[in-house]
Chain A
Amino acid sequence: MATEFSFPDPAAKAAIAEYESEKLSLSMGPSHPSTHGVLRLQLELDGEVVTKCEPIIGYLHRGDEKIAENMTYNQFVPYTDRLDYIAPLANNMAYAIAVEKLAKLEVPARCQAIRVLTAEMARLSSHLLGLGAFGIDTGAWTVFMYTFNEREKLYRLFEELTGARFTTSYSRIGGLARDVPEGWTGRVSAFCDQFLPILEEILALLTRNKIFMDRTVGIGVISKEDAIAYGLTGPNLRGSGLGLDLRKDCPYSGYQQYEFDVPVGTTGDSYDRYLVRGEEMRQSVRIIHQVIATFPGGPWYATEARKIFAPPKDKILTSMEELIQNFMLVTEGPQMPAGEVYFEAENPKGVLGFYVVSKGGGVPWRLKIRAPSFCNLSILPKLCVGTMVSDVVAILGSLDFVMGECDR
Chain B
Amino acid sequence: MSASLLTALQEKFPQARPRPSLDHAAVNVPADTILAVLQELRDAHGYDFLVDLTAIDWAEGATPRFTVVYHLRSTTHHGYVRVAADCPNAAEPAMPSACGLWAGANWHERETYDMFGIAFTGHPDLRRILMWDGYPYFPLRKEFPLAGIETPLPDAEIGAETGAAAIPAPMAGGPFVAAPGEINLTEAEPRAKDESWNEARAKPTP
Contacts and interface: CB of A to CB of B under 8 A. Distances in A.
A370 B175 CA distance: 24
Contact of B180 (A65, A102, A364, A408): A364
B6 interface: no
Contacts of A65: 115, 140
10 contacts: A63-B139, A229-B102, A249-B78, A332-B189, A339-B22, A342-B71, A355-B54, A365-B181, A366-B57, A377-B107
Contacts of B193: 70
Interface string A236-256: 000000101000011000000
B181 A58 contact: no
A285 interface: no
Contacts of B111: 374
A232 B190 CA distance: 38
A362 B52 contact: no
Contact of B182 (A69, A104, A244, A361): A361
A342 B52 contact: yes
B126 interface: no
A339 B102 CA distance: 28
A226 B106 CA distance: 13
Contacts of A397: none
Given A70-B146, A71-B177, A342 B23 contact: yes
B136 interface: no
Interface string B36-49: 00000000000011
A365 B50 CA distance: 23
Interface of B: 20-24, 26, 48-52, 54, 56-57, 69, 71, 75, 78, 80, 82, 102-104, 106-108, 111, 115, 128-132, 139-140, 144, 146, 175-183, 185, 188-190, 193
A370 B128 CA distance: 18
B78 A370 contact: no
B178 A70 contact: yes
A67 B175 contact: yes
B22 A363 contact: no
A13 interface: no
B49 A228 contact: yes
Interface in A115-139: none
A71 B175 contact: yes
Nearest to A232: B104
B178 A333 contact: yes
B147 to A, nearest CB: 10
A104 B22 CA distance: 9
Contact of A332 (B22, B69, B185): B185
A332 B75 CA distance: 40
A381 to B, nearest CB: 9
B23 A101 contact: yes
B52 A340 contact: no
Nearest to B48: A228
A242 B128 CA distance: 32
Contacts of B190: 71-72, 75, 331
Contacts of A63: 139
A407 B130 CA distance: 7
Contacts of B102: 229-231
A218 interface: no
Contact of A101 (B22, B48, B104, B130): B22
A244 B73 CA distance: 11
A58 B132 contact: yes
Contacts of B183: 361
Given A360-B181, A366-B56, A370-B51, A67 B107 contact: no
B185 A351 contact: no
A363 B178 CA distance: 7
> Which 5 residue pairs are nearest across A and B when measured between Cβ atoms?
A231-B104, A70-B177, A58-B130, A363-B180, A339-B22
Contact of B52 (A58, A104, A370): A370
B4 to A, nearest CB: 20
Nearest to A104: B22
A28 B168 CA distance: 30
A340 B129 contact: no
Contacts of A357: 56
A307 interface: no
Contacts of A229: 102-104
B188 A361 contact: yes
A359 interface: yes
Nearest to B178: A363
